[in-house]
Amino acid sequence: MEVARYWRTTRQRYQLVGEVCPNCKGKIFPPRDVCPTCEKEAKTPFAFSGVGEVYSYSTVYQAAAGYEKATPYTVAMIRLAEGPLVSAQLTDIDDKDVAIGMPVEMVTRVLREDGDRGMLVYGYKFRPVMV
């Protein structure tokens, strides 16, 4: 990933900033120019709470390039409290303890190391809600 592109996308990856549609009030993540529900223009920023629950999950044993060091790891579809589904890696939990409906919260963690340059790429992951 080029450094310029990395910095352009930091809001979505560190703060879960998406958009809210001014027409249908739908919450959109990641941000896009057009609401997927009503197909009207949507450019109003919206900061998601980062809280949700596991909707679905799978454990990855054969990782894509750049993620081999993390295997095995669990990837989940998270239903955010505000509605959208987000795909993210789970952290701070053993894959045997993951359950559908489990409450989770967003955390910022290292996703991978980018190539020979060694740039650490950070982003969001989800962990069980800390009580």
- Across the range 27-41, mean pLDDT stands at 91
The tokens 């009030």 sit on which residue?
Answer: 25
Sequence letter at residue 84 = P
30 cis-preceded (ω within 30 degrees of 0):
yes
At residue 15, the pLDDT reads: 77
At residue 10, the pLDDT reads: 55
128 cis-preceded (ω within 30 degrees of 0):
no
Q: What is the pLDDT of residues 49-87, one digit of tens each?
A: 999 999 999 999 998 877 777 789 999 999 999 999 999
Cα–Cα–Cα angle for 119, 105, 30, rounded to 5 degrees: 65
Each as own residue / partner, the long-range contacts of residues 119-122 (CB below 8 Å, 24 or more positions apart, any chain) are 119/1, 119/3, 119/6, 121/1, 121/6, 122/13, 122/14
Confidence of residue 110 (pLDDT cuts 50, 70, 90): confident
